[in-house]
Amino acid sequence: MPLNLAEDHIKSNEIILFDYNLSLEETFSPVNLNEKFLEQKIFELEEISQVRDCLYWLTLARLNELVLLCAGNYADNFEFTPAGDLLVNPRCILVHIKNRNRPVIKKRHSRITDQFKNFGSTKGEVTQWLKNETLLEIKEEPLLPYLFKSLKNSGYMSQEYLISIDMRMKKIADVMVFLCSLHFTDSQDPYQCLQYMTQSERRFIKSSLCQFDTRSFYDLGYDIHKMIQHEGYRSSFLC
């Protein structure tokens, strides 16, 4: 590719990513983040940007920040199912069955033994049938592991930033385990139960929560803006 055409391609990518980041800041709100919105934004980024340069990876890191924020908010508010969806529950699992051409999509929030209960008269028989006759394929990972792996394998992100992602993912898991250990029953409203605790107990619980913020999200946006404006500017998020 001639140099001037290559430069035009790079400039075009910068404009695309600048516009994308501007739109991202205009459309997202911490209170209405959800998996569907985040998944759509990741898909849009992967579709519009063909150049996988430092600006692309910094933009993907911004999306990662929003997913961490969303999962942390879910965990802090006792919403363990959507938090688990972002952290550990694959978005899509295919069940390949022997002698069948097409796989079956596993229902995300139900036990696989319940989904295939017709293949045995007891749970043990269903389990044995699944073991002998099927093969599971994780087609789409949860968003957080997917983004972490992508950023780690990019070769662009600093070790410090990757460590911070890993620590926050572990924090989300720890918060869910901690809040589950409080043993609220299904019929109890956890917020109502908290009202009957002492002030020191409530303070302790609050100090144990994720309480993530958008600081890194906006710091990454600032760096992207500076790198587009000033050649030679280097982001601290990059290695």
| 214 found inside a domain | yes
Mean pLDDT by 10 residues, the chain (239 residues): 42 88 92 93 93 95 98 94 97 95 95 94 94 96 98 98 98 94 67 79 88 97 93 93
Is there a single domain that holds both residue 168 and residue 200? yes
Residue 106, judged by CB atoms within 10 A of its CB (0-12, 13-18, 19+), counts as buried
Whether residue 159 sits in one domain with residue 52: yes
Q: Does residue 194 sit in the same domain as residue 76? A: yes
Q: Does 108 reside within a domain?
A: yes
Residues 70 and 108 both lie in one domain: no
Q: Is residue 238, in this structure, part of any structural domain at all?
A: no
End residue of a domain, out of 122, 140, 158? 140
Whether residue 200 sits in one domain with residue 121: no
236 within a domain of the structure (yes/no)? no
Q: Which residue has the tokens 């144990």?
A: 208
Task: For residue 235, tell me if it sits in a domain.
Answer: no
Half-sphere exposure of 207 (CA within 13 A, CB side): 6
pLDDT recorded at residue 17: 94
CA distance 14 to 51: 10
Tokens representing residue 178 in the block = 């901690």
Kindly list the strands in the beta sheet with 134-140, ordered across the sheet, starting from the edge strand earlier in the chain.
Answer: 104-105, 92-97, 134-140
- Residue-level pLDDT at 82: 96
Question: Is residue 180 within 8 Å of residue 41, measured between CB atoms?
Answer: no
The structural domain count of the chain equals 2
Q: What is the pLDDT of residue 1?
A: 32
User: Strand pairing partners for 105?
Assistant: 94
What is the separation of C-alpha 11 from the centre of its chain, rounded to a whole number of angstroms?
A: 29
So what's the pLDDT on residue 49?
85
CA distances from 157 to 10, 38, 209, 213, 232 (A): 20, 21, 27, 20, 17
Inter-residue contact 140 to 94 (CB < 8 Å): no
Same domain, 59 and 46: yes
In a domain, 164, yes or no: yes
Give the range of the structural domain holding residue 127, as residue numbers without chain letter. Answer: 92-140
- Statement to judge: residues 57 and 73 lie in one domain: yes
Strands 104-105 and 92-97: antiparallel
My answer on whether 59 and 172 are in the same domain is: yes
Claim to verify: residue 103 and residue 218 sit in the same structural domain: no
Residue 224 within a domain: yes
Both 218 and 149 in one domain: the answer is yes
Domain boundary residue, one of 78, 108, 140: 140
Last residue of a domain, one of 140, 158, 173: 140
Q: What φ, ψ does residue 99 adopt, rounded to 5°?
A: 70, 20
The CA distance from 115 to 105, in Å, is 10
* Rounded Cα–Cα distance for residues 89 and 108 (Å): 8
How crowded is residue 232: how many other Cβ atoms within 10 Å of its Cβ?
Answer: 5
For Cα atoms 177, 142, 97, give the angle at the middle one, nearest 5 degrees: 110
114 and 171, same structural domain? no
Identify whether 237 is part of a domain. Answer: no
Q: Are residues 57 and 169 in the same domain?
A: yes
Look at residue 91 in the predicted model and tell me its pLDDT.
96
Cα distance between residue 31 and residue 127, in whole Å:
41
